[in-house]
Amino acid sequence: MSRYLTNLDLSQVGRRTVRDAEQKFPCKLYRMLMETETEGLSHIVSWHPQGRCFRVHDQEAFVNEVLPKYFKKSKYRSFQRRSEEHTSELQ
């Protein structure tokens, strides 16, 4: 799955809130992508080289290792649906 990120409001990215629900999905997605890169998990999910979209390389590992750390719902389809709300399909 590859997605373009559009209209991101990154004002809350560095902010760690008390309540997870306070942080918007695009900000959590951005933070997840940045942190997985620095933690050496780019083999699971990573930015494309141009930095405008991302790709999930290993869906099973993504669901088991990455999603629960950043999102309350750790089902791949839920993540996919939320990302589709905030991104546009690669053509």
pLDDT at residue 10 in the model: 58
pTM of the entire predicted model? 0.69
Q: Is the pLDDT of residue 91 over 80?
A: no
Q: What pLDDT, in 10s, does the model give residues 29-44?
A: 999 999 999 999 999 9
- C-alpha 84: how far from its chain's center? 11
Provide CB contacts within 8 A for 64, sequence distance 6+. none
Span 17-34, average pLDDT: 74
Rounded to an integer, what distance in angstroms lies between the CA atom of residue 74 and that of residue 51?
A: 24
Give the Cα-Cα-Cα angle 13, 61, 49 (nearest 5 degrees). 55
Phi, psi of 41, rounded to the nearest 5 degrees: -105, 25
pLDDT at residue 35 in the model: 95
Query: Could you tell me the pLDDT band of residue 18, with boundaries at 50, 70 and 90?
Result: very low
In single-letter form, the type of residue at position 35 comes to E
Span 67-76, average pLDDT: 89
pLDDT at residue 22 in the model: 46
Q: Which residues pair with 5 in a beta bridge?
A: 87
Is residue 41 within 8 A of residue 57, CB to CB? The reply is: no
